[in-house]
Amino acid sequence: MEDIVLASKRCLLLIFLVIVSLFLCQKVTYVSAFNYTKAYRHVSNLRLERIQNHLNKINKPPVFTIQSPDGDVIDCVHKRKQPALDHPLLKHHKIQKAPRRMPKMMGKERSDDVKEAANVLESAWQMWHVNGTRCPKGTVPIRRNRMNDVLRAKSLFDFGKKRRSIDLDRRTEKPDALGTNGHEHAIAYTESSSEIYGAKATINVWDPKIEEVNEFSLSQIWILSGSFVGPDLNSIEAGWQVSPELYGDNRPRLFTYWTSDSYQATGCYNLLCSGFIQTNNKIAIGAAISPLSTFKGNQFDITILIWKDPKMGNWWMGLGDNTLVGYWPAELFTHLADHATTVEWGGEVVNTRASGRHTTTQMGSGHFPDEGFGKASYFRNLEIVDSDNSLVPVRDVKILAENTECYDIKSSYSNEWGTYFYYGGPGLNPRCD
């Protein structure tokens, strides 16, 4: 009898261990899926050699190196040695000095009292600043790219590039938000009959959760010109994004992007190819932003301005009230060498449906716009730059979202925030599958 009881206990213990083992395997599989790395043993020596050669081209020799507490390495590179100047169209380019005249303000500015009452704290900054170290004068901070960063990409060609959100043969003469291929948006946009020379907005920064390594969530400004139905769309973009594939983590980061051929071959994120010329030694494009907005707590936002210098024709990026980050040279573009025709503000996510259902990747704060301040993400004080180099408040915008059960947008107007909107959502939920 005792033998039977002992055997039963052993059997139960064995079953228990099997169940625990299966559980642990599931946990390990889940955790490893979010390590955002790939094992080298699956990569040929030839591919590793090609990747290393590419890294040697884009990682320029630093004058000084800063170790960020989030794990990033920031290289301080002499401004004349930065990757942008490797572009064949920029071989003889002379780095432009800061424009003497930024776009003029029109209309009423927010007062500090209004800002304080709204519980909005400006100047969300970057984690590599925590220890107070800065790059020396005459250099620019560049986030160092590593082997794992490239291995997470689909291919070396795809590294640092947006995958086309719209098939060229399926495009219509509509804003970029009407996409396919798994890209979903919630945007406001303006299409002016007059020429547009820039745009501005203030965006609060969150840390949306990302389900799959090759999905992302971003909030940005698009400056667009060219045809939405052809291969010649020009786009200049800047904002914040969470992209595990690009950065290897879930931190929101300042980013830029550009293309002159509808995301086919030209352009890239940040400084991952030649093009964008950085002039600021205190801001690292691609570096993590900190602190962040919290649900029912303080809201931290960044103000982004993109505008065309009327004298030299280059497209400058500003951060905050008057901090210049750098510029996209006019030589990079065809249609945007002149002016823009459309501006978009809003969010974008990638929904791969990897599990046969809608992704749980969040847009913005992960909450719907009707939850309002302190809970939902916002863009406020939308403005465009006119032909007189003046910032003009946008009074009428159109809004657009492909699937409002997953991500939505609601726009409004107030004296303090001008034209603004709340946007975003959780992705998968009982109404979104």
| pLDDT of the residue at 129 | 84
Q: Please state, in angstroms and rounded to a whole number, the distance separating the CA atoms of residues 366 and 374.
A: 12
Identity at 123, one-letter amino acid code: S
Q: Is 405 a catalytic residue?
A: no
| pLDDT of the residue at 18 | 35
In 3D space, the residue among 185, 182, 153 whose CA is nearest the CA of residue 357 turns out to be 182
Q: Please state, in angstroms and rounded to a whole number, the distance separating the CA atoms of residues 164 and 329.
A: 23
Q: Is 348 a catalytic residue?
A: yes
| pLDDT of the residue at 174 | 53
The catalytic residue among 237, 245, 344, 383 is 237
Edge-to-edge order in the sheet of strand 64-67: 64-67, 73-78, 139-143
Element (H, E) at 411: strand 408-414
Domain ranges of the chain: 181-425
* Beta strand 253-259 pairing with 398-401: unpaired
| pLDDT of the residue at 321 | 80
| pLDDT of the residue at 189 | 97
DSSP alpha helix (H) spans, 112-205: 112-117, 147-151
* Beta strand 315-319 pairing with 323-328: antiparallel
What are residue 188's phi and psi, to 5 degrees? Answer: -110, 145
In order along its 433 residues, the chain shows pLDDT tens digits of 445 444 444 444 333 333 333 333 333 222 233 454 544 557 889 999 999 999 999 999 999 999 999 999 999 999 999 999 999 999 889 999 999 889 987 654 443 333 333 445 444 588 898 777 889 999 999 999 999 999 999 999 999 998 765 443 433 445 554 455 789 999 999 977 789 999 999 999 999 999 999 999 999 999 999 988 888 999 999 999 999 999 999 999 999 999 999 999 999 999 999 999 999 999 999 999 999 999 999 999 999 999 999 999 999 999 998 899 999 999 999 999 999 999 999 999 999 999 999 999 999 999 999 999 999 999 999 999 999 999 999 988 999 999 999 999 999 999 999 999 999 999 999 999 8
Q: pLDDT tens digit string along 67-85? A: 999 999 999 999 999 999 9
The catalytic residue among 211, 344, 348, 383 is 348
3 state SS of 183: strand
Measure Cα distances from 44 to 36, 39, 41 in Å: 19, 11, 8
Top-tier CATH class for 181-425: mainly beta
In 3D space, the residue among 305, 288, 295 whose CA is nearest the CA of residue 364 turns out to be 295
| pLDDT of the residue at 219 | 98
| pLDDT of the residue at 116 | 32
Q: Please state, in angstroms and rounded to a whole number, the distance separating the CA atoms of residues 198 and 426.
A: 31
| Tokens (6 digits) for 125 | 């900054």
Identity at 207, one-letter amino acid code: D
| pLDDT of the residue at 261 | 94
Residues forming beta bridges with residue 363, ordered by sequence position: 425
| pLDDT of the residue at 332 | 96
| pLDDT of the residue at 193 | 73
Q: What is the 3-state composition of the chain as percent helix, strand, coil, each rounded to the nearest 5?
A: 20, 35, 45
